[in-house]
Amino acid sequence: DGGITQSPKYLFRKEGQNVTLSCEQNLNHDAMYWYRQDPGQGLRLIYYSQIVNDFQKGDIAEGYSVSQEKKESFPLTVTSAQKNPTAFYLCASSIRQTDTIYFGEGSWLTVV
Amino acid sequence: QQQVKQSPQSLIVQKGGISIINCAYENTAFDYFPWYQQFPGKGPALLIAIRPDVSEKKEGRFTISFNKSAKQFSLHIMDSQPGDSATYFCAASRGGAQKLVFGQGTRLTINP
């Protein structure tokens, strides 16, 4: 089935460590996105890519980095510079220049 | 700053009742208004969307009402069921999915 696969679902890390969240899509979408969701808050855009390996910063890019070797894969690294990394991270994709985005199941990151 | 304000934060409705969630926006250039439904621990899923050329759109028990002059739109869930219990997000954009601005979310509980 076509969809967006995020892994791992749950991740625990010690403060000061970098962590990478995986996102793969087989929808043949051109654009991919990373959002952060905190309890009781809306979704905030971290990074997105509409052309392979051409990344654009979203509203809260500081402390995060992305990479993209192929359009189907868009991993997110949460670096030690991110002050409050504990959150629910959502990967999404869309057909470029359309409005509708489709989300993965999310990854819970807890930093202790 | 472009914002979408969503209310209420939480809502409890009896089974069979009508659930109403409201959103207000500031940017008159917005031309796409989706609603997403999110179950606990899952990613948001597109529920229904509207563009400003119509004032209402209905899909099954879900209806979006749009008031362009008031810069408001709302989601109505008719005959609410316990399975509708979820968090609902409104959003707005112009010019592509990367421009989506999300509301803060409404946690809806349908009591049996």
pLDDT, average across residues A47-70: 93
The mean-pLDDT minimum among A19-28, A46-55, B95-104 falls in: B95-104
B33-53 confidence digits (pLDDT tens): 999 999 998 999 999 999 999
Interface contact A100-B97, CB threshold 8 A: yes
Q: What is the pLDDT of residue A1?
A: 63
More confident residue, B18 or B98: B18
More confident residue, B33 or A40: B33
Find the DSSP H helices in chain A.
Answer: none
Tally of CB atoms within 10 A around A5: 14
The mean-pLDDT minimum among A60-64, B18-22, B99-103 falls in: B99-103
Determine the residue of chain B that is closest to A93 in CA distance. Answer: B97
Determine the residue of chain B that is closest to A96 in CA distance. Answer: B96
Interface contact B98-A48, CB threshold 8 A: yes
Is the Cβ of A97 closer than 8 Å to some Cβ of chain B? yes
Give kind and range of the element (H or E) at residue B92. Answer: strand B86-92
Q: What is the pLDDT of residue A75?
A: 97
pLDDT, average across residues A61-87: 94
Q: What is the pLDDT of residue B14?
A: 98
Let me know if A95 is exposed, middle or buried by CB neighbors in 10 A (0-12, 13-18, 19+): middle
Residue indicated by tokens 């967006």: A4
Q: What is the pLDDT of residue A31?
A: 93
Q: Which two tokens stand for residue A79?
A: 């670096």
Q: What is the pLDDT of residue B2?
A: 62
Determine the residue of chain B that is closest to A9 in CA distance. Answer: B41
Q: Which two tokens stand for residue A104?
A: 């993965």
Q: What is the pLDDT of residue B51?
A: 92
**Percent of residues, chain A, with pLDDT higher than 90:** 76
Residues ≥6 apart with Cβ < 8 Å to A50: A30, A31, A56, A96, A97, B98
Show residues of chain A in contact with B45, CB under 8 Å: 103
B77-107 confidence digits (pLDDT tens): 999 999 999 999 999 998 778 789 999 999 9
| Confidence class for position A97, pLDDT limits 50, 70, 90 | confident
Which letter does DSSP use for residue A73 in this model?
B
Say if residue A2's pLDDT is above 80.
no
Say if residue B1's pLDDT is above 80.
no
Q: What is the pLDDT of residue A53?
A: 87
Say if residue B20's pLDDT is above 70.
yes
Question: What is the average pLDDT value for chain B, to the nearest integer?
Answer: 94
